[in-house]
A and B are shown apart, each in its own frame.
Chain A
Amino acid sequence: MDNAAAKGEIRFRLNRASVQVTPENGERLSETMRDRLGRRDVKIGCNAGDCGACTVLVDGAPVCACLTPTQQVRGKEVETLAGLVEYDPAAMALIDTFQDNGAAQCGICTPGMMVCATALLRANSAPGPQEVEDAIGGVLCRCTGYRKIIDAICQAGTAQPRSPAEGTGDVGTSIRKLDGYAKVVGTEVFGDDVAPDGTLTLRIIRSPFARAGFVLGDLDGYVRDNDAIVAVLSAADIPGKNCFGVIPDFADQPVFAESETRFRGEAVAAVVGTPEAMRRFDAGTFPVVWDERPSVQDMPGALAKGAPQLHDGRDGNVMCGGFVQCGDVAAALTRADVVVEGRFSTGFVEHGYIEPEAGYATYADGKVEIHACTQAPVMDQEAMAVILGVDRSKVRIIPTAVGGGFGSKLDISVQPFLALAAIKTGQAVRITYSRSETMQSTTKRHPSEITLKIGASRDGRISGFRFQGDFNTGAYASWGPTVANRVPVHASGPYNIADYRAETRAIHTHCPPSGAFRGFGVPQAAIAQEALFDELAQKLGIDALEFRILNALDNNQPTVCGQVFTQGVGIRPCLEALRPAWNEQRGAVAAFNASATATNSPLRRGVGIAAGWYGCGNTSLPNPSTILAGIRADGAIVLHQGAMDIGQGANTVISQIFAQALGVAVDRLELVGPDTDITPDAGKTSASRQTFVTGNAARLTGLALRQGILSMCNASQGAVLDIGAGVVVVRDGGQTHEINLSRLDGDGMGYVLRACETYDPPTKPLDKNGQGVPYAQFGYAVHICVLEVDTALGTIRPLGFTAAHDVGQAINPLLVEGQIQGGIAQGLGMALMEEYLPGRTENLHDYLIPTVGDMPPVETIIVEVADGHGPYGAKGLGEHVLIPTAPAILNAIHNACGVRLRRVPATPSRVRDALRGN
């Protein structure tokens, strides 16, 4: 051994350059890459080989950097995405095809995907889909539904990648994501990528029990005795209120529990230390004594007499309820010729974004700045002002890129810990949740227990609909009240139902808080409603699709809330658009099953259909978005875009709408934000509201800016703007006007022209029977699923989806497809494999989300029934996309093998139970 080797120094090649490091015992290559060598294009999602985000090439072979001891790459060639895109022709081709196909949504899995794809393409220049699936099977993506990634890789292998999308980005055109390039070359900056090297690191002390009393020991002594520990935080350090919650009237969650924890993983303290010390930090040394107490972990337990009460004033652990009623449901059910009923159960579902919560904070001059992944910067700011006891102006939220959210990053997570630590230490502090921390402590989809009874007359009209749903809201309120309110409004599905009664309760348990997850409880309700619709159709001898068409809501018919849309109701066109596919698939599966029966094969195919609707924006509450834009003297057009892009494409869609309204090409825009100091409040990325609400604000802002320019030269509405360097040329018919921008006075932000507009959807409160105007618009969706059941093993293999979505106007059809495919993948996971069990599935190998091999092709049918309120007619989409998926799958299972599953996920074990008649 030479001297350097004796000291543990190793040399290897990294992206074709020689490097040397001295790794510690137990150091993972992923840590070395990120912390020692600045290679933050290597992403860490799970630290256990379960997600593949950290994939690098070692001597050309893909491996998980998180599972590779750094010492093992001594003398080897290591390649990461950032290197590959500089010199590898396959990776360079992937840069284009990933963008052209919308294969990167949030972008957190993209480095892993592209590194695997590059290795594949080096060995096989023209891979087929199956080879691609095998190559990327070890990388999880939660956004895209994988199909566009497969397409991108196959195209990169062919000689002619699709030419880059060109054009001005007009509404209705599929341009690349404006923020897509950074995601495909590994330079995108996520929550864990922003902190400077050497930043103090924070670790949280969490309850190991669902419910426990606890006593903290001598914290000052602990800090004194541990040189590398800079500070300890607990409830005593909170200057404002130790309480937060997304719905102010229900705010109930402490930053740090004060005397008793209410769920496993709840924070009681935090430790701040040097990065070196915190890498070796052993939470077992922290001075805390636990006293485990009896807990209630399910709804029957929480509702039982004598059950421990989680919160004062919420008797019986019932937090709140929701209610909608119209007509006379009892009479209608009595009158019905056919009645079906059922009880349905769903479990916790984990959001499963590949980016764990992460960020860092600084504190200077009395102002705290928080850089973290979030879906709701202004809500974060408001919550932090309360916790810190300061004015909002003393809190600045600068969101990082978000590696997936799906609802859970609406709630604050790392933010208060970071801010309190930065204030207490006076230094920058960072944190990244481990996979088990994010799974234990952040919100989940509500488990549900639903009882539903529906009647119909012999001619197939719904006659009475009675829905009761209990939702396990966990230890704290989070978005539980929203779920309780949204479900009764939506549980009817997009149908004309005159006699209706739906009531819900949100029940506290000693479980992680249930919050927002794509659909706010509506996907759970749709499982019950759409399954029973199939049963009704079957009993009546009516085709399942025709039964839905017969009952579809139309314009000028009241919803169950008594809201009457005179325009824009698009469910019937969606259903009718699927008639050809439905009839074709019905025939195909019947033929397959006839043949399978004849050959004694255990395989059976089925086709199932389900529909859904979803109101865009807050339910009967103000919900404004504001967009600011300005033109500088040099002619730059600056769009202050505060709507969080969490991968869905808000940066692109909002820009397209604004550019269309202003009358310029989208590539002329310079985007700034989001940043609570420089972008106005565009609201939260939630409730499928950004395209609709912020899109409208962008449209109004674009129009106002345009009007300002036209007014200056008295030009007509039809004038063409050419905003160039320092000058705006306005061509109006035969006339040309020039506005010399340098002669105009600039404002404090340097804008010589500016506009700032707000849009708030028109809604009205719901009365005690849930009657009113909950939403200005709904979007509509129908899915058909074809699948194969192995009746001997109970396994289910989805073969394909056909999805019709009414989006009013597709602003960017490519992004619409991306939302639909990604939503279907999440709905598929919920239907077939996902169930979070606190304490048991706190990682991504016990908690399964779909891999590329589980996601079949999706045919997308975009239906455009323009909405009078939407920008250029557009409707929201983000949550609609998974509402019909699970019930379509369950209905297809029944069609295949005759069993009706009323509990998801339909695991092979449960499918077999059902087939055996249990």
Chain B
Amino acid sequence: MGYSSADTLPEALQLLGEGNVRIVAGGTDFFPMLGDRQAPPKVLDVSFLAELRGIRQAESGPEAGWTIGATTTWTEIANADLPPAFDGLKGAARQVGSIQIQNAGTIAGNLCNASPAADGVAPLLTLGATVELRALGRVRHVALSDFITGVRRIDLRPDELVYAIHIPPLPASATGRFLKLGSRKYLVISIAMVSVLVSLDDAGRIEMARVAVGSCSGVATRLGALEGALIGLTAGDMAGQPDIWTRHLDPLSPIGDVRGSAEYRQEAAAELCKRAVLGVMEQTKEAKNG
């Protein structure tokens, strides 16, 4: 079939059913992985499928929450009108590669590429995202944490494409934050990254905390024990137990490579967790006072 640009979803799913089809959306991972080699014999371009693009919100029903179309670009996410819970995802969107990459790269492409350093995964984990997969006559919903199964491995069957990302309803007070650590400002693959989603009660105590770390394990991961330990704490409480940030890093298994040593990644992850959580708390306090 060579290169096909599907104009409708059924057409796309029909083509996918032929098997051995490589999907291309923004192209920002497709071409770098291709390098100088020939393109695979069957390539399906999903960028013309209008229904795969854009962000919508539903107040109730099975799609309650937000739906982000698979080929929504990082620029579209960064510019979207979304509540503070999405600040982490927006922060990641603004730090993916460069403006050129943000204009072309898509959210589903980032998930399907399944790099340990994928910028979108950590914030989407904090948002409790699920991935909607479509095949001809079949729809599957998979939790993001189950969708990415390992380094460059995903739970996507040959006849499926990612249709959308769903985010369930979130507390209005929840605020997100994303911190990316790299050796330069732009166009950088992170050494470590952290995304958090935090909400506070009226006394400034944490009532909900979700913390996800990327680039420090094969797949970005939530730090459940840390999230639990943070519940009920104020910023002052945290200052009193500085080891809270380093005690709950068991899910991480950082490697040492050209970007940094394993020891450094672990240490940096803890520091980024602290800064992200305290940053949200500071921001919330200022918002209240302001």
Contacts and interface: CB of A to CB of B under 8 A. Distances in A.
**Do A and B come together as binding partners?**
yes
A49 B264 contact: no
Contacts of A795: 181
B290 interface: no
Interface string A669-700: 00000000000000000000000000000000
B65 interface: no
Contacts of B52: none
B128 interface: no
Contacts of B188: 848, 851
A853 B185 contact: yes
A594 to B, nearest CB: 21
A850 interface: yes
Interface bracket on B = 35 or more
Find the residue from B45, B183, B258, B260 having the highest chain A CB count within 10 A: B183
Find the residue from A26, A71, A282, A853 having the highest chain B CB count within 10 A: A26
Interface in A52-91: 52, 55, 58, 61-64, 66-69, 71-72, 74
B3 A49 contact: no
B259 interface: yes
A8 interface: yes
B13 interface: no
A579 B99 CA distance: 41
B2 A908 contact: no
The binding surface of chain A is classed by DSSP as loop
A855 to B, nearest CB: 9
Find the residue from B30, B39, B100 having the highest chain A CB count within 10 A: B100
A138 B267 contact: no
A305 interface: no
Contact of B100 (A49, A835, A908, A909): A49
Contacts of B45: 69, 71-72
B223 to A, nearest CB: 18
Interface stretch (A464-472, A815-823, A838-846, A876-884): A838-846
A837 B185 contact: no
B265 to A, nearest CB: 8
Interface in A127-162: 133-135, 137-140
A50 B268 contact: no
B238 interface: no
A407 B191 CA distance: 31
A48 interface: yes
B27 A62 contact: no
B104 A850 contact: no
Interface bracket on A = 35 or more
Nearest to B24: A69
A784 B255 CA distance: 36
Interface in A868-918: 907-909, 912-913
B38 A26 contact: yes
A409 interface: no
A263 B103 CA distance: 39
B183 A832 contact: yes
Find the residue from B98, B181, B188, B271 having the highest chain A CB count within 10 A: B98
Contacts of A63: 100, 103-104
Interface in A15-70: 23-26, 28, 47-50, 52, 55, 58, 61-64, 66-69
Contacts of B48: 72, 74
Contacts of A912: 264, 267-268
A61 B75 contact: yes
B288 interface: no
A61 B183 contact: no
Nearest to B94: A134
A26 B39 contact: yes
B32 to A, nearest CB: 4
A707 interface: no
Given A25-B43, A49-B101, A909-B259, A67 B185 contact: no
A354 to B, nearest CB: 13
A837 B259 CA distance: 12
6 contacts: A25-B3, A49-B28, A63-B100, A67-B27, A67-B100, A912-B264
Interface of A: 8, 23-26, 28, 47-50, 52, 55, 58, 61-64, 66-69, 71-72, 74, 116, 133-135, 137-140, 280, 282, 434, 436, 792-795, 832-833, 835, 837, 840-841, 845-846, 848, 850-854, 907-909, 912-913
